[in-house]
Amino acid sequence: MAVTKKFLKTKPEVQVTFEIEASAAGDASKVYVLGDFAEWEPVELKKLKSGTFKTTLKLPTDKQDAYQFCYRYVMSDGAENFATDADADGLCTNPFGGENSILSVIPA
């Protein structure tokens, strides 16, 4: 799993690419990212020929009080499996007894 960030100089936005390698996705036929940046509605990652799943979103850097977003992945192979991102900027507890990944949007 990987998250890359590209901060835009002309707008208060960051271009975030979520990527999950085929080996990490296992037998999943579909992968989604859920996050407070999309009001926890699933955003589907596109499956590439290599088997990697990938999507890019533009997120605001001036809307969150804490300059961070919570998210997690859902991998679907008939059943839904939730996963946190080992490469995330941090982890936080969610209200369901699990953990969410943290994405920081503070420019470096």
What's the pTM value of the predicted model, to 2 decimals?
0.90
**CA distances for 74 relative to 7, 41, 64, 68, 106, angstroms:** 26, 11, 24, 20, 25
pLDDT of residue 80: 82
In angstroms, the CA 68 to CA 70 distance is: 7
Whether 56 and 5 have beta carbons less than 8 Å apart is answered as: no
pLDDT of residue 41: 96
User: What are the average pLDDT values for consecutive 10-residue runs of the chain, which has 108 residues?
Assistant: 90 94 91 94 96 95 82 88 91 92 85
Please identify which residue in the block is written with the tokens 């936080």: 92
- Residue boundaries of the structural domains of the chain: 2-104
CATH classification for the domain delimited by 2-104, as one of 2.40.10.230, 3.40.50.720, 1.10.101.10, 2.60.40.10 = 2.60.40.10
Q: Which residues lie below 8 Å from residue 14, measured CB to CB, with a gap of 6+?
A: 5, 6, 7, 8, 58, 59, 61, 105, 107
In angstroms, the CA 42 to CA 44 distance is: 6
In angstroms, the CA 71 to CA 69 distance is: 7
SS3 79: coil
SS3 69: strand
